[in-house]
């Protein structure tokens, strides 16, 4: 069984892409993966545009990424198009991962997580797992933690490995970053930042 996971991180944010705000979520995602023994390239920062998001995902896959994580653009603001960009690239969605991301946010006491629209699924030709999660630092860490919990097992199944092994228990301790319960806005919107970005 191959245990190494090649990952890529993509930050979706108009303001970060324009250089108006430093990207904090992408580096948080990379650091969280590194702490779990997964090396990730990036983050690559792209604007909230379907073409740009899809191009970044395709470039990551072409470079050999088996795990592609996106942060930002999963809320309900007009410019939140990450899910719309990623979904057509997927062969199959994995609702369990999407549900786990929402549940993790709700477990922190942030009802705004109910407005989050994470997208997760597989691209069979590339044997890759792709997950798009919230744009806050806490949400990015949650996405990376959940991905790290299941990546090796999922990728082994995609490869058709006969011995995918038993999965260790998933950590149940939610991210403790403070997250206001106000309706969240993605990092890419021009409305005032509410502190919890989808």
Percent of the chain past pLDDT 90, that is, above it, reads 75
175 belongs to a structural domain: no
Task: Note whether 87 and 117 are within 8 A (CB).
Answer: no
108 in any annotated domain = yes
User: What's the CATH code of the domain at 20?
Assistant: 3.40.980.10
Q: What span, in angstroms and rounded, lies between the C-alpha atoms of 198 and 17?
A: 17
Establish if 150 belongs to a structural domain.
yes
Helix (H) or strand (E) holding 195: none
Question: What three-state secondary structure class fits 115?
Answer: helix
> Is there a domain that residue 66 lies in?
yes
Report phi then psi at 4, rounded to 5. Answer: -70, 135
Predicted confidence (pLDDT) per residue in 18-44, tens digit: 999 999 999 999 999 999 999 999 999
Distance CA 12, CA 50 (A): 10
pLDDT of residue 161: 84
Under 8 Å between Cβ of 63 and 56: no
Residue 14 has pLDDT above 90, yes or no: yes
Structural domain includes residue 29: yes
Q: 10: which strand partners?
A: 44, 70
Residue 103 has pLDDT above 50, yes or no: yes
Has residue 59 been placed in a domain? yes
What is the extent of the structural domain holding 67? 6-159
Interstrand relation of 6-12 and 39-46 (parallel, antiparallel or unpaired): parallel
Query: Cis (ω within 30 of 0) for the bond into 57?
Result: no
Contact by Cβ (8 Å): 198, 116: yes
45 in any annotated domain: yes
> Given this model, what pLDDT does residue 169 score?
54
Q: 194 pLDDT band (50/70/90 cuts)?
A: very low
Structure token pair of residue 89: 């690239």
Q: What is the number of domains present in the chain?
A: 1
pLDDT level of residue 112 (50, 70, 90 thresholds): confident
Per-residue confidence band for 110, with pLDDT thresholds at 50, 70 and 90? confident
In a domain, 34, yes or no: yes
Contact predicate 36/148, CB 8 Å: yes
């Amino acid at each position: 069984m191959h245990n190494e996971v090649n990952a890529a991180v993509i930050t979706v944010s108009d303001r970060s892409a324009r250089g108006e705000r430093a990207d904090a979520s992408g580096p948080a995602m990379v650091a969280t993966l590194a702490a779990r023994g997964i090396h990730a390239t990036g983050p690559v920062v792209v604007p909230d545009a379907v073409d740009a998001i899809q191009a970044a995902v395709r470039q990551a896959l072409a470079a050999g990424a088996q795990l592609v994580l996106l942060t930002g653009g999963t809320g309900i603001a007009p410019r939140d198009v990450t899910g719309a960009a990623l979904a057509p690239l997927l062969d199959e969605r994995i609702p369990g991962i999407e549900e786990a991301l929402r549940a993790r946010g709700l477990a922190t006491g942030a009802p705004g997580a109910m407005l989050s629209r994470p997208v997760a699924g597989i691209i069979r030709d590339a044997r890759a797992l792709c997950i798009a999660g919230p744009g806050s630092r806490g949400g990015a860490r949650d996405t990376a933690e959940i991905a790290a919990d299941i990546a090796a097992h999922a990728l082994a199944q995609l490869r058709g490995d006969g011995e995918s092994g038993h999965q260790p228990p998933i950590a149940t301790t939610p991210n403790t970053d403070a997250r206001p319960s106000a309706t969240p806005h993605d990092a890419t919107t021009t409305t005032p930042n509410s502190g919890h970005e989808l």
